[in-house]
Structure 1
Amino acid sequence: MNEFKTSSMRIAALAVVLGLAGCAGTVSKGVDDQGQAKEIIFPDPVKQATQPEGSYPSTESLRNLRAGLTKTQVFQLMGPPHFTEGFGAREWDYLLHLQGTNVVCQLKLIYDKQTQVGSIYSKPEGCSTVAAGK
């Protein structure tokens, strides 16, 4: 696929995410201004995923995912969230198929008040960092 089509598809996907901006803000409990939560709640991948097939992120994308990234940067690395989150939500959730394995990992990013990643969680715990070679 050429770069123009890929870029156009990402812009179209971003428009969809922006359109959902009024949807869910947080589902985890006790989310503070720094993007930390007292209780992490993962959505049900069977009942709540809008993209139940998930995605197959590259190891490089997972290695580059870190606290401090903006939503736009996360979108460029991971694509749109796989649940009902919009661009205005404080939490983005993903279903990730880890390359070379049969492992499906749930990934949750919680954003701080400046809309930068404040914390990253996975279920099972640590599966995304193992996949990224960290």
Structure 2
Amino acid sequence: MAGELSAEAAREIRQLQKSKEKSRRLGNAADQAATCNRLGELLASHGRYEEALEEHREELRLLEGAGDPLGCAVAHRKIGERLAELRSFQAALKVRGEGRGKGFGGDFGKLGEVWRAFGGC
């Protein structure tokens, strides 16, 4: 059933939460954002979409603060996926549109990831 966690998943979530807090204390926004992403994916895989959505929103805030446009694009895509899983389709479309407006400053070395971040638009 969605939302129920195995002991292993619950343990992994606790470990990721500790890791996220440690990154926050150390001021390592990149690690904290990566941990938010992993937490969001893990929570979503267990049907805990609202919690996952919050993790991806935190990830986006951290990446915006770090000035990481590619990471922001990926976070926007993840937020859109979670909103769609929650059946908030209009909000999902809006978030996807917001992510497209961000510039990459000419850094297209990761063009495949850029393409994927925008859902192949």
The two structures have a TM-score, normalised by structure 1, of 0.29
* Larger helix share, 1 or 2: 2
Question: Relative to total residues, which structure has the larger strand share, 1 or 2?
Answer: 1
